Copies of this chain bind each other. A is one copy, B any other.
């Protein structure tokens, strides 16, 4: 890629970005769009414009507000998880800013004043000097082999590593405190009073599972046990419940349509009807309101009967056990209960809203086997996904594309279009390609038998990270199939370092463009929310009848960490790896994470609504992967500098064990407080006497929930043969 197409790419991206920001500024100031741009505010009952003066309508108003918001505002709006994601972005930003301050003024002149590229041209004679761009002059490639200038690059690797350690340590400490603070608030959270019990052994035939759970926990925790709720297989009850809900929705819609049809000319209106056959297209025509009411009347007793059967007959070998003190629950969740590990396994209860009921009853051996199988599938996916990627790589040069698809000639031969296409095509192909994967990974992670949504997201995010680093970073860099890379690795493990070192400098410009495209276009789209806006307006116009429908149409969802984090991690890996080879990438990285931070903050404050709260359990995951990126960086740098025939590059080798030791120390020092609940943080008293009934009710699945709160006792008794409730309240 020459300088012209690089600048074109950059400029186009920037223009698109500016356009999208302007669009955002204009659209977001129109009250009709409030549900798209301020859904989080609306849901929290705040007026987006109230008390904010005209600032909101100025083009930089959102920027000023996002900058002004404190961490506690973020926690209040998006929970600790969102705050931790922002800490992640700002940590990487700090690493890059600190590195850039030293590296750019030092390395760029050192590289630019050397002349390895000219000499190599001189040696080959045949080529002209235009073959290398100004960009390539500013990189490691322009330093002569064995030159003492390489010391500067070598020390830069040390500097970047130590800056990373320093920033990561600070951040881990900060996040750790944030988590502790969040966990020791006086608010009552149901999950802090409960533990999840899995692998409950089958009770003798005269006992229900519920009875055996009760008697087991009452014996072991006589003073603190409150109640238990056995997990049930409520798919059937849920189906009936959903059917009833569907009918209710239909009635609501039909009533709106009916009311609207009562015009002045026709005061009695038209009763809405529909056909009851396939997709409402065939079958008898019925009056919707009447028909649905009949259906509900018919289904309600069925639901009640099914609820009873479910509670009594469909108990599964898992339960949520409630304690009357937070510290008792914290302590119980960390204590080994049974002599045999495959019975009565306890862990912290997930939040009620993120519990995955269908996974609870999976036995420990099943979970283990599923995990192994799924990791095998992921491994195969990572390896074989490379095949199509390689096909695309082969097509990336436009000339080849033109040869293979002659009908494109007309378009491609236009000079401007050619430049733009040449700049974007390979990157676009990659980005589109990657959009297909996350759902598969979420499905696979859920199949592992993980009991909570947030854990599933972390697991999917981890898998995506492997995928993206191996396929995009290594795949593009090495520029060959991962197959041949794998055979190299198997035959000669250190060979991969040499291979990377050989290929890295060549792909610098590609990744520079990749990063720029990601942040300008990606963030522009993110901020302007054009797609949700269009969908919302279309839905409102043609589909939504009731208020509930409208609300469903603008429901913003959560941040989607499972794709967001690995994508950011890819940029971290790329920028770290090129930070010394081509220091010019650092400003791009800074821009990516600075823009990312400010835009994510804006979106957290105004748009996204968290669907769960894991109190920052994502952090250790991010931390480990930043260190993994650092290790890739350090390893390749040893190779890159060695290839320059500079044998002091072995001076870099100690960095690798240092990184491992750093990771180990962080894990030892901070991780336990993420995996377990320290007693210290739950010793604080709660605001008021906890309403244990409410805590218990929070865990009842919607389809089994009794109509009134007083019925909770009946609900519980339905699970056991004897009325076995504890006398304590």
Contacts and interface: CB of A to CB of B under 8 A. Distances in A.
A37 B19 CA distance: 97
For chain A, the bracket of interface size reads 35 or more
Interface stretch (A290-298, A518-526, A548-556, A678-686): A678-686
Nearest to A333: B335
A404 to B, nearest CB: 44
A678 B339 contact: yes
B339 A330 contact: no
A331 interface: yes
A725 interface: no
Nearest to A327: B220
A681 B327 contact: no
A5 interface: no
A28 interface: no
Contacts of A223: 223
Contacts of A334: 334-336
Given A219-B683, A669-B342, A678 B180 contact: no
Chain A at the B interface: SS class: helix
Contact of A335 (B176, B180, B220, B679): B679
Contacts of A344: 680
A678 B338 contact: yes
A336 B180 contact: no
B331 A672 contact: no
A220 B680 contact: yes
Contacts of A671: 341
B331 A676 contact: no
Interface string A667-694: 0111111001111110100000000000
Given A680-B220, A683-B220, A335 B339 contact: no
A375 to B, nearest CB: 14
A223 B328 CA distance: 11
A332 interface: yes
A679 B195 CA distance: 15
Interface in A341-364: 341-342, 344, 364
Contact of A337 (B668, B670, B678): B678
A341 B669 CA distance: 5
B668 A339 contact: no
A364 B669 CA distance: 10
Interface of A: 176-177, 180, 219-220, 223, 327, 330-332, 334-342, 344, 364, 368, 668-673, 676-681, 683
30 contacts: A176-B340, A180-B339, A219-B683, A220-B679, A220-B680, A330-B335, A331-B335, A334-B335, A335-B335, A335-B676, A335-B679, A336-B673, A336-B676, A336-B677, A336-B678, A336-B679, A337-B678, A337-B680, A338-B678, A339-B678, A339-B680, A339-B681, A340-B669, A340-B673, A341-B668, A341-B670, A342-B669, A344-B680, A364-B668, A368-B668
